[in-house]
Structure 1
Amino acid sequence: MPTPSSDLSNRPATSTGGLDVERLTGSIGAVVHGLDLAAPLAGRDVEHLRELVAEHQVVFARDQHLDEEQHRALANQFGPLSIHPVGELTGSGRAISVIDDTADRPPAGFDWHTDLSWTVEPPDLGFLSAVVIPPCGGDTLWASGRAIYARLDAAQQRLCGSLRVVHLPDDMLLNTVCRHHGEDIVRRLIANHTPIEQPMVRLHAETGRPAMWLSPLYAAKVVGLDDADSRRVLHVLHRQIHDPEVQVRWRWAAGDVAIWDETSTCHRALTDHAPQRRTMRRCTTTGARPIAAGG
């Protein structure tokens, strides 16, 4: 496949609506300066930030130090918060989850994924804030489905745009749920979320731009292909995620915040900080049924 051609590759750092934007790579990621995310944003700032996330796919802000309520309030300005299906079953109803890795609770080590891609209406935006960060390790990586799509030739784009992929909760997720909540919750989760078909190429709801919508952790099979061909196709596509040219890697500091587009990226957190402590808060905003590039 050819080297990706990104429309961001020649753009310098910019100032948008009074916000200083520092691009991180040619394909994905930017740091926004000049925002206080702990305070309510002006309506125009919300709009600008949403536009920046749509453009750069993941946006970072340093030195924010949000508490849980500030984290919730920030995300709420972009839409209603999602409740994880497990939280719905346990009755916790919590929209904010705390990821607290310690020596006694080692990191889960989930593969590349898009959050809740196995649900009918997956999340729109993800919000992650750093609370306690180890001296080294624990970075998070995002990969651009838009850059991966741009690598395909026209015939490959048409083919991928016509395909659908079955997504379902994977064994690692189910084992984690079982360990924390028991077998009954796992059985109910499986019953409530049967395998679902999602488009391989997804259009952004606001910009209309296409992106490969890849979620290796949850993508089980390409619809219409036998198992062997499905594995080959998914292997070829998922391999593209590992190219550093379509990635951004963020080294966290306490107080950092990341906001990302769940509809055009996938991500994973590294576990090389274990057994050191790493504490993060995360939430997502509700989304809509994915729009397929093939109609």
Structure 2
Amino acid sequence: MTSLTQLSQAIHDAPQWHLAEALQHPNEIQITPLKDQALGAIVTGLDARKAQSGETIFRLKQALAEHLVLIFKQQRLDDLQYLAFASYFGSIFRPSADNPVLASQSDTGVPPDVVPVSNAVGQGDYTGHGELSPHADHQWTPLPSFGSLLYAIELPQNGGQTTWFNTIKAYDALSDEIKKKIDSLQLITYNPFVRAQSNTGTSGYADSPYYRFKDQPILGHAYPHPLVRIHPETGRKALWLNTRSEVELVNVSDIEGSDLIAELRAHILKSEFRYEHHWETGDIVFWDNQVTLHSRTPFPAEQRRLLKRISLAGARPF
């Protein structure tokens, strides 16, 4: 018999609904919105190792659409259990080999299903220990991921917090004049990993320009997506714009486009749109990548940090 893939093995081994001791009772789970925060809710009482009822998964999906970030506390999972839980919410994100992303492998061109986000030697060494500016994952691909789950296994004593930004609230707070101006614009986000590959020893984001002017070379493929995208479940509008990597507005002059992007990026960073998460071991944070950005504070290089990320497939933004 052919050996199973990691994801197939995870679902094959997952607890079954018909076994009463393996099924989580929906009444054990509480969802509590974060008080006085721009987004986020805490989920307690859930054991991600157990089979979850349809009622529970539907409730969690509704909560994610409403709060954009769900924080599951006190989890203890291996990779297969983690994959089985994540697969309740969608297919695993698998980009094509011609669109490199974090942890794309040299032999296949695609990342593993479970990506170690770490500075710990031998655990992946992805993202290092420095600051990461606010971004949406996989924004430069033709089909960006819908969401991601990040599981905290080992944490530094200092720093390493993750902040999420609510880009629905950021859009809603714009003036009617600006909304009218940007609602029909398309934005190209250029792939920072292509830039890193073409400049050996660079980190991609840190070395890319903030805006691509027409006289600058194009690195990698260009996929225009709406600057203002619609959430597919709620219909709410959000700014689909990160704050650091190279971008370009379609059919907009260089100076006008550069100035507009700089204005919108400064707006997104306002404190009223953000929530900073202080990690605890066993946290799983599940976020909607379609309408949020996330960033990370730096931490000491000698302190170990190991989290594991699973990203879920998305559709073409509209």
Q: How does 1:1-295 map to 2 (within 5 A)?
A: 19-84=30-95, 85-86=99-100, 87=104, 90-91=107-108, 94-102=112-120, 106-107=128-129, 109-170=131-192, 174-175=196-197, 193-291=220-318
Could you say if the C-alpha distance between residues 281 and 207 of structure 1 is closer, same or farther in structure 2, counting changes exceeding 3 Å? same
Structure 2, unmatched stretches of 5+, are 1-25, 203-217
Q: Which residue number in structure 1 is paired with residue 9 of structure 2?
A: none
Counterpart-to-counterpart distance in 2, 1:286 and 1:89: 21
Counterpart-to-counterpart distance in 1, 2:158 and 2:93: 31
Counterpart-to-counterpart distance in 2, 1:100 and 1:18: 30
Displacement of 1:136 after TM fit? 2.0
Number of residue-to-residue matches in the alignment:
268
Conserved 8 A contact 2:164-2:294 = yes
Which entry has the higher C-alpha Rg, 1 or 2? 2
SS in structure 2 opposite 1:162?
coil
Counterpart-to-counterpart distance in 2, 1:277 and 1:128: 16
Could you say if the C-alpha distance between residues 283 and 24 of structure 1 is closer, same or farther in structure 2, counting changes exceeding 3 Å? farther
User: Which one scores higher on RCO, CA 8 angstroms, separation ≥ 6?
Assistant: 1
TM-score scaled to structure 1, two decimals?
Answer: 0.82
Displacement of 1:103 after TM fit? 8.0
* Matched letter for residue 196 of structure 1: Y
Could you say if the C-alpha distance between residues 199 and 276 of structure 1 is closer, same or farther in structure 2, counting changes exceeding 3 Å? same
Displacement of 1:154 after TM fit? 2.0
Please state which structure has a larger fraction of its residues in helix: 1
Counterpart-to-counterpart distance in 1, 2:290 and 2:162: 18
Identity %, equivalent residues = 25
Structure 1, unmatched stretches of 5+, are 1-14, 181-190
Conserved 8 A contact 1:119-1:193 = no
SS in structure 2 opposite 1:90?
coil
Counterpart-to-counterpart distance in 2, 1:96 and 1:219: 27
Counterpart-to-counterpart distance in 1, 2:83 and 2:157: 27
* Matched letter for residue 231 of structure 2: H
